[in-house]
Structure 1
Amino acid sequence: MVSYPDSQGAERSLTVRRPPSVTSHSSRASTSRRHRPQRSHLGGSSYQPQNEFPVFTHTGDVEILIANGRKELRYLLHKLILTQCSGFFEAGLSEEWASAGESPQAGGSSLVRMLPGAPQAKKKWTYELDWGQDDEIPTLVQKKVHETPPPSQPPPTRNKPPPPQAGFFRSMANFSSLHVPVAQSDPDDDIFRDYDNLFRVFYNYPPALDPVNIANAYVECKSLLQIADMYDAVDVIGPRVDHHLLRFQGRLWKQIAKYPPSYLKLGYMARSKAIFSEAMIHVVGQWPLGIPQLRGQVAESVLELIEDKVDELDELKAKIEVKLSRLTITTSRGERVTPSNNWLEWMAVSLFRQWLAENTTPPPTPILKSSPRQSSLRTPALRTPAPPPPFNTGRIFRLIGQGGTSYLGHDECKRFLKLSPEHYNRENLKRFERRIEEVKNKAKDLVKPLMRNFLELDLREGGLPYLTCTRIDVQEFPWDEV
């Protein structure tokens, strides 16, 4: 929303959208470029005003000053570029916004501009960073529009460099003996870095983000995206962040597996289909583990997509559970085994069904009876039991999909058969294990739809205890609906 100032006001501001919070992190401060003066053909050096990023002396018309009393960054950029990249600047530099601050006395300057032969004035906009309160994100505030007449003559040319200060050579000779103090990092370095990266991307320069440490890169990318969201520039900044993080390749996928809710939020902010999909698969597989980190912190469309995918996964698991519970084997004559036609083989099927039921059914809620002494305690933490971890059957389906000796192995079969001493012998044990293996092979085929993996993460280094068969189709990304 744009708020227009009074005609006599010296400052004007735009209301920008602020994210809930920004965690400050230490990082390297952005450094400005150094430019060597061009040498003249006469042997001396000529002074040439800078006309490239970040200061376009000849063509820039929007001045931006970011300073905190200890450090200063100055930009002289173009209205055209800023309005194309940012909705904030598109509104603030519009003709409607500019005319709102014009006073009736400004007509004289307009008359001068209209006189034939008069030098054309150049309109300039100025923004300064308002640091606000400690818990607020510093934002740019537009100052009063002013007009500067074009220079009537070229800038002065310096024929030779200025003479060095007294004692310069002597001090340089003794430089090695001097103690040079280490510069202290500025607590506002993160803000300087984020704004510098914002304008660098606007001018198609790569942002200064950590290329080695992916944890630092995540923090810097998240902070940059929050600034971009404030200035309605995510469409421009998001692809740059996506490109930078994807360069980490395998390390990125491992980090997403460690912190899926965090990367889901970042992937949504950056409009990164690769990062968002990877994180979504982990979140759905572990659900409802990620509820505290996502509810109230992401858009409702994201939560709706998560819940839809969780429902789809639960429905698929329920269908396969029914098939597994009905799984059976047949006798040599092709008949379904029963207690009457083959007791031993029927016991093999029964053991599998019992194992499946125990491991796919949530455990019963324990009934705690507090003693009189416990009930007299007033501390709630001592009376209230800790909530049990979320029940997730993904690990069980992965065991079934793996087959072999991953479950119901030799020792379990032997222990089970010993419960009927009259049937326990070496021959029956071998026969029993063969039939168990047959049941497990059939079960392995049934769970194949749940064993699909749509992650970029290489699972050969180690499996996950939850399912990763969730798939996000192209038309399902929540930002495409807006």
Structure 2
Amino acid sequence: MVSYPDQGAERSVAIRRPPSVTSHSSRASTVRRHRPHRSHFGGSSYQPQNEFPVFTHTGDVEIIIANGRKEQRYLLHKLIMTQCSGFFEAGLSDEWANAGEGGSALARVPPGAPQPQEKKRWKYELDWGRDDDIPMLVQKRTQASMFGGDALQQSPQQPPPPRNKPPTPQAGFFRSMANFSSLHIPAPQNDPDDDTFRDYDNLFRVFYNYPPALDPINIANAYVECKSLLQIADMYDALEVIGPRVDHHLLRFQGRLWKQIAKYPPSYLKLGYMARSKAIFSEAMVHVVGQWPQGTNQLRGLVPEPVLELIDDKVDELDELKAKVEVKLFRLTLTTSRGERVTPSNNWLEWMAVSLFRQWLAENTTPPPIPILKSPRQPSSRNGEAAPPPPPPPFNTGRIFRLLGQGGSTYLGHDECKRFLKLSPEHYNRENLKRFERRVEEIKNKAKDLVKPLMRNFLELDLREGGLPYLTCTKIDVEEFPWDDI
């Protein structure tokens, strides 16, 4: 993995061996840079220097990003680009360089003549495409001269990326949490393509071990910028390099990050998957499973199948655990002083306490029945026919189990016990009410012990500031992350 030194410290550019020999984490040597970094974003197209973003003396891959209003030029290294991006690894390969060429300059040198030293340079320009297209770098073929100069030729086609060009992202993708209406920040008059310039600059900065320029204060802005950077990294097959940087930046928000994930778990589940962030992905997965099927529409068809399979597996595991606990709860009972189970014949009052608990549990863990009669004021559709009723909200028993786990007066309190006992006036008096409440409290304490497996919390979010209405006992083991086998 590419190392990430702190800003201002000495930086190193890691150089790897060919992919067939080693992975991104293996590096053979480093190229040191001792001069401080100077930003040239939006500046002149040429800088007489040999440091990022223009390596005048050593760079061999020129990249031009221009939209007619401004231009950003990079002169980078083939070795770095190919080790960080599968797109450039394919486009800068010898197979691609020789494809379609009728012969190089060296092939026309007479036999026996001294071989001139050839300096090869590649060039890419950003093709903005049409309105609905995603901007994409296109290689311009250059013909190396015998004296180190380059003669630019238009390439009839762009280098084959490792995957097909992705479709335009759907409107709702990654945007469920980007609500900027509450920020009260006046919209600056910026170039509409500034985000694209920023994303490419961040992409190349990470390639060269510089921290990306991402918002360090506003987590909503940081999310949008990180999401955009991950999307472009996915286009150029560079998620393995970009993902850890995004993960590192977002984790710096600490508590604010966990709160944002709790608000928008499907969005952060997608981001955590793209960034290969185990912390973000796990946190979002606990929320998604606990609220399922609430986030179905935001995930199905928008995340890879292995992610959906993991969600389904974890939902099934949670349902099985709840079913086992429910069976034990319905079997809860009280015993007499002789150790016998209470019945209507041996202790009617205490048997009524057990009956009240079981009735409360049945009502709150069973979905409400569908009404048979239609509402008289049901709205009509355009053709005059009665419109179908809206589907009921998803039934989630997590809130009930949390009440059972808290115990005390959170349910079946004094007033409820009093109302219930008054239904049998012949048994209602102050002494019987106190006895009845003590026995209800006893069975509630037993229930509290039974639901402890469901009360486990695997979130980083601090729940002391307020509980959640769903269960958070889902745990993602290390071997279950859906990208380890990709």
Question: Per the shorter chain, which TM-score range?
Answer: 0.7 to 0.9
For the residues of structure 2 that align with 1:376 and 1:198, how far apart are their CA atoms?
51
Q: Which amino acid aligns with 1:473?
A: D
Aligned to 1:132: 129
Are residue 433 (structure 1) and residue 437 (structure 2) matched?
Answer: yes
Aligned to 1:303: 308
Q: Which amino acid aligns with 1:124?
A: R
Q: Which amino acid aligns with 2:257?
A: L
3-state DSSP of counterpart to 2:120: strand
- The equivalent position to 1:465 in structure 2, one of 462, 469, 474, is 469
Cα gap change, 1:259/1:114 in structure 2, threshold over 3 Å: closer, same or farther?
farther
Structure 1 segment 10-409 matched on structure 2, within 5 A:
32=40, 49-104=48-103, 106-108=104-106, 111=109, 115-116=113-114, 120-148=117-145, 184-369=189-374, 378=383, 383-409=387-413
3-state DSSP of counterpart to 1:222: helix
How much has 1:366 moved relative to structure 2? 1.4
3-state DSSP of counterpart to 1:327: coil
How much has 1:145 moved relative to structure 2? 2.3
How much has 1:137 moved relative to structure 2? 1.1
How much has 1:111 moved relative to structure 2? 3.0
How much has 1:385 moved relative to structure 2? 1.5
Cα gap change, 1:373/1:460 in structure 2, threshold over 3 Å: closer, same or farther?
closer
TM-score by length of 1: 0.81
For the residues of structure 2 that align with 1:243 and 1:217, how far apart are their CA atoms?
12
For the residues of structure 2 that align with 1:347 and 1:114, how far apart are their CA atoms?
109
Contact 1:63 1:74 in 2 (8 A): yes
Identity %: 81
For the residues of structure 2 that align with 1:289 and 1:283, how far apart are their CA atoms?
8
Contact 1:113 1:120 in 2 (8 A): no
Cα gap change, 1:224/1:429 in structure 2, threshold over 3 Å: closer, same or farther?
same
How much has 1:374 moved relative to structure 2? 7.0
How much has 1:329 moved relative to structure 2? 1.1
How much has 1:121 moved relative to structure 2? 2.7
Cα gap change, 1:96/1:113 in structure 2, threshold over 3 Å: closer, same or farther?
farther
3-state DSSP of counterpart to 1:415: helix
3-state DSSP of counterpart to 1:204: coil
3-state DSSP of counterpart to 1:84: helix
TM-score by length of 2: 0.80
Q: Which amino acid aligns with 2:66?
A: A
Q: Which runs of 5+ in 1 are unaligned?
A: 1-29, 36-46, 153-181
How much has 1:149 moved relative to structure 2? 5.3
3-state DSSP of counterpart to 1:310: helix
For the residues of structure 1 that align with 2:397 and 2:51, how far apart are their CA atoms?
59
For the residues of structure 1 that align with 2:421 and 2:130, how far apart are their CA atoms?
73
For the residues of structure 1 that align with 2:78 and 2:200, how far apart are their CA atoms?
17
Aligned to 2:3: none
- The equivalent position to 1:449 in structure 2, one of 448, 453, 461, is 453
The range that moved more, 408-417 or 361-370, is 361-370
3-state DSSP of counterpart to 2:411: coil
How much has 1:103 moved relative to structure 2? 2.0
Deviations 1:382-441 (A, max 9, x none): 622221110000000000000000000000000000000000000000000000000000
Alignment RMSD:
2.5
Cα gap change, 1:373/1:439 in structure 2, threshold over 3 Å: closer, same or farther?
closer
Contact 2:117 2:148 in 1 (8 A): no
Cα gap change, 1:396/1:372 in structure 2, threshold over 3 Å: closer, same or farther?
closer
How much has 1:31 moved relative to structure 2? 5.6
Cα gap change, 1:126/1:264 in structure 2, threshold over 3 Å: closer, same or farther?
same
Cα gap change, 1:255/1:76 in structure 2, threshold over 3 Å: closer, same or farther?
same
Contact 2:42 2:71 in 1 (8 A): no
Q: Which runs of 5+ in 2 are unaligned?
A: 1-37, 150-186
3-state DSSP of counterpart to 1:480: coil
Structure with bigger helix share is 1
Aligned to 2:482: 478
The range that moved more, 141-150 or 301-310, is 141-150
Cα gap change, 1:444/1:111 in structure 2, threshold over 3 Å: closer, same or farther?
same
For the residues of structure 1 that align with 2:381 and 2:464, how far apart are their CA atoms?
54
For the residues of structure 1 that align with 2:356 and 2:64, how far apart are their CA atoms?
75
How much has 1:102 moved relative to structure 2? 2.0
3-state DSSP of counterpart to 2:72: strand
Q: Which amino acid aligns with 2:465?
A: E
For the residues of structure 1 that align with 2:189 and 2:423, how far apart are their CA atoms?
74
For the residues of structure 2 that align with 1:113 and 1:225, how far apart are their CA atoms?
51
Deviations 1:66-94 (A, max 9, x none): 00000111000000000000000000000
For the residues of structure 1 that align with 2:142 and 2:441, how far apart are their CA atoms?
82
For the residues of structure 2 that align with 1:255 and 1:373, how far apart are their CA atoms?
38
Q: Which amino acid aligns with 1:363?
A: P
Looking at CA atoms only, which structure, 1 or 2, has the larger radius of gyration? 1
Cα gap change, 1:34/1:349 in structure 2, threshold over 3 Å: closer, same or farther?
closer
What is the count of residue pairs matched by the alignment?
A: 410
How much has 1:290 moved relative to structure 2? 0.4
Aligned to 1:5: none
How much has 1:376 moved relative to structure 2? 9.1
For the residues of structure 2 that align with 1:370 and 1:282, how far apart are their CA atoms?
35
Aligned to 1:26: none
